[in-house]
Every structure is written in structure tokens, then in C-alpha cells.
Structure 1
Amino acid sequence: MAIVCPTVLAGEPHEFREQIERVAPFASRIQIDLMDGAFAPTKSVALDSIWWPEGLDVDIHLMYQEPERYLEKLVNLRPNMVIIHAEANVDLVKFATALHENNIKAGLAVLKDTQVKEVQHFLPNFDHLLIFSGDLGRFGGQVDMSLLEKVSEAKKIVPNIEVGWDGGINETNALDLSNGGVEVLNVGGYIQRASQPDKAYVTISSLIS
């Protein structure tokens, strides 16, 4: 069964707090997007500035060029999962192994132009594949349904890998993504910019339940 995972993407600490407080009352799992201004064109709040309420499962989506530099800080935060990009300057297997040694799940994100076959040898080391259909460092983007073929390609390599989607999810495409095999729908602007975020969350959740 697919789940809705609201995303938090903030440039300033006060924005981060507002976004966390906006979704924490109803979400059981969220994704925090972090950018270094190098891998992504924009810069988010610093890793040192993030926090979340106790009891919330948090995935950290790290859009950093050199994620290994931040491994110790990430481990100390004790998130549910850390997602790094296949396109970053990182030893993917070493990073995933270090997370697993600390009982943290490892996720691998791939940009639109990165094919599953390019990362097939690394996939067995990861718990989650994030199909990225958005614009780095920004809410929104467009859902490119042709990217759904990555779901079946990944499942052929690692049948039990969890597959998430990031970018452009709303009430017009959530069901198609779920039916296409996406298990974690990371929803940003549709929830964060809604006048009633809780109702936006319920709308998407009801569509895919």
C-alpha cells in the first residue's frame, strides 16, 4: 500500500519550523530536503539546524555534492533513512554500509536522466530508490510518467526495494503513480502551499488507499 510523505524544503530556520509544524500534526513520515548550493542550485537550512518532533519517521533527502563529509552528523540525528544521489561524489556502497551499521536505512535517488541500469550494481545495497521528477532545490516540477518504467526495472533487480517518487505530485496524478508501483509519494508544494494542509494530505491519501 502506498503512503503519502509530506516534504519539508526550507531556506531559513523560521521557514523550516513553520513547515515542520504545518505537517507534524497529521503526518507519520516526512521527508526533509537539504541542499548544499553545489549539487542543487539553491541552498537550504544547514544540517545542524534541522530537528523534528519525537515519534515522527523522518527521511533526509540529501542533495549534497559530497555527502560523506556529513555522515557522522547524519548518524547522530537518527533518522529513519538517508537518501543520497547516485550522481553525487560519493562511494555509494561505503555510505550505505555505514548507515546500515548504525541501523539507519539507505536510499538512492536518481535524477531524470539517470537510468536504472547505470546504478543496478549498487541497488542491492539500498533499501529505497527515489525517482526524482522535480527540480532540484524547489517544490513543484512536473510528473514525467515515462519515468515509471524505472519502478519495474528496479524491482527486477531488487524485488523488495521500496520505491519513492519526488516531484509534481497532486490529486491528478497520485493514483497513476501508485498504480504504477510507487510506494512512497513525497508531496511538497501541494500540501505545504495548501490553505488546509491536512485536507490536502487526506485528499492524496484517500486517492491511493
Structure 2
Amino acid sequence: MIQIAPSILSADFSRLGDQVQLVEEAGAEVLHIDIMDGHFVPNLTFGPALVKSLRGHSKMRFDVHLMVEEPEKFIVDFADAGANHITFHLETSRHAHRVIQQIKEHGMTAGIALNPATPLDGIKYILQDLDMVLLMTVNPGFGGQKFIPNVLPKIQVLHRHLEQTHSSCLIEVDGGINLETAAAVAKAGAHILVAGAAVFAQADPKLAVAKIRHAAVLIKGE
């Protein structure tokens, strides 16, 4: 089952609440919230206060993507703010298993993100503890970037491994998702598609969600 996760990084912040409501009405299951610290990535976004302000206005699953150094320092604050899931970058942590356990101890599901050039080998011994793996199809830091097609084989390899091991871990893909690339990543084995500009930069975000889902579902034959 394909899930669509609109990314508020591309939303109109002057009417953020309305835009979140629009994509929820369109059937989006997940709200993707990019947290950047200006150190791990060259951009600075928002914090737990924004998550808390939106929590009371949406029933969507809040998927917090920490693009920050020392992600363990942010877990409690985002849990208290109402996050359902936290993903952190393998590239930022020397003790990934410990961070995963901390996330789960605070009642959330846990994921690890890999940049386009980061191989899958780094999650080999912790994959069984993960609820999700986020594969970046752009270099993180800014919305609206061009999709990197060289990541498609990585999605395929991970998907095959999860099937062979009967794992319930999900694959999320983030970066450059549009109607064309949505079909490609769904065919490769992705379960959750993060879409920013392809949703919020469109005249009708509700219709955009429906079109992306249709493109992904059509290629998978669901």
C-alpha cells in the first residue's frame, strides 16, 4: 500500500494550517516535517513548537525527519510535541542503535535516513530494529531539487532484502518526487513517497496528492 507524505518544507507558511488540512482531506496519511539545524545541512527550519502547534489540527501521522547533528538531543522535545515517528541520519550518529532505542522508549517509531552516496551496509546490523528506512533521492538541505536516479538500484536492493527476510520495515523515499519519479520509486519498491513542491507548489494541492498516488499505485498494480 503506497502512502503519500506531503512535506511542509514546500508549504506556504502564511497559511500552513489550511494547507495541512487540504492534504489531509486529500487522503494523505503522513505529514513529513523536515527539521534542519544549519550544521548537518546548509539550511535552518523549524522546531518542536511548530509540531506542537499543528498537532491539534491534524490526525495525520507526524513523520519528523531530523537533519541535525546529535539527534539524540531532540528526541524528548519532539515526542512531547506530538511526533509519531522520528527519522535521523546514519551520517550523524556514532551510536545509531542507542538512538533508535531512545526514540522507541518515548513511544514513537524509529527510522534511519541515508544520503544518496551512503551505502546500505551501514544499517545491516540494525535493520531489524527499524520501522522505516528513508532513502534520500536528493542531497538534503533544500526543497525543489532534482531527483537522483542512481538511488533507484539502492531502493530495489533494500526492497528485495526486506521481502526475503519478511521484514515489516517500510521504505520511504524523499527528494524530487513528481508524477514521473513517483512511478519509478514505487516500481523500485518504495512504500512512502515524500512530496514537497509537487504538492504544495501546485494550484490544487488536493488534486496533486491524488495524481501522485495514482501514478504510484498504477505502476504497482494495486
Q: Normalization by structure 1: what TM-score? A: 0.89
8 Å contact from structure 1 (residues 10, 44) kept in 2: no
SS of the aligned residue for 2:44 comes to coil
1:85-100 maps to which residues of 2 (within 5 A)? 85-89=89-93, 91-100=95-104
Once the 2 structures are TM-superposed, how far is the Cα of residue 38 of structure 1 from its aligned partner?
A: 0.7
8 Å contact from structure 2 (residues 23, 206) kept in 1: yes
Q: Deviation string for 1:70-117 (max 9, x for gaps)?
A: 121122123221010001145211111122223311010000110001
8 Å contact from structure 2 (residues 90, 122) kept in 1: no
The match for 2:215 is 207
- Residue 186 of structure 1 pairs with residue 187 of structure 2: no
8 Å contact from structure 2 (residues 24, 58) kept in 1: no
CA spacing shift, 1:135–1:41, aligned 2, 3 Å: same
Which segment is superposed worse, 2-11 or 30-39?
A: 2-11
SS of the aligned residue for 1:165 comes to strand
The match for 2:220 is none
8 Å contact from structure 2 (residues 12, 200) kept in 1: no
Once the 2 structures are TM-superposed, how far is the Cα of residue 14 of structure 1 from its aligned partner?
A: 4.0
Instruction: Output the CA distance in 2 between the equivalents of 1:82 and 1:203.
Output: 27
- Residue 153 of structure 1 pairs with residue 153 of structure 2: no
- Residue 106 of structure 1 pairs with residue 110 of structure 2: yes
- Residue 171 of structure 1 pairs with residue 179 of structure 2: yes
8 Å contact from structure 1 (residues 38, 64) kept in 2: yes
- Residue 74 of structure 1 pairs with residue 75 of structure 2: no
Query: Which ranges in structure 2 are unaligned for 5 or more consecutive residues?
Result: 218-222
**Could you say which structure has the higher helix fraction?**
2
Q: Normalization by structure 2: what TM-score? A: 0.85
RMSD of equivalent CA atoms: 2.2
The match for 1:36 is 37
Once the 2 structures are TM-superposed, how far is the Cα of residue 201 of structure 1 from its aligned partner?
A: 0.8
Which segment is superposed worse, 15-24 or 77-86?
A: 15-24
CA spacing shift, 1:16–1:138, aligned 2, 3 Å: farther
Pairs aligned (count): 209
The match for 2:7 is 7
Which segment is superposed worse, 181-190 or 15-24?
A: 15-24
Query: Which ranges in structure 1 are unaligned for 5 or more consecutive residues?
Result: none
8 Å contact from structure 2 (residues 20, 58) kept in 1: no
Which segment is superposed worse, 39-48 or 18-27?
A: 18-27
Q: Deviation string for 1:145-192 (max 9, x for gaps)?
A: 321222343342653320010000111121121111011010111101
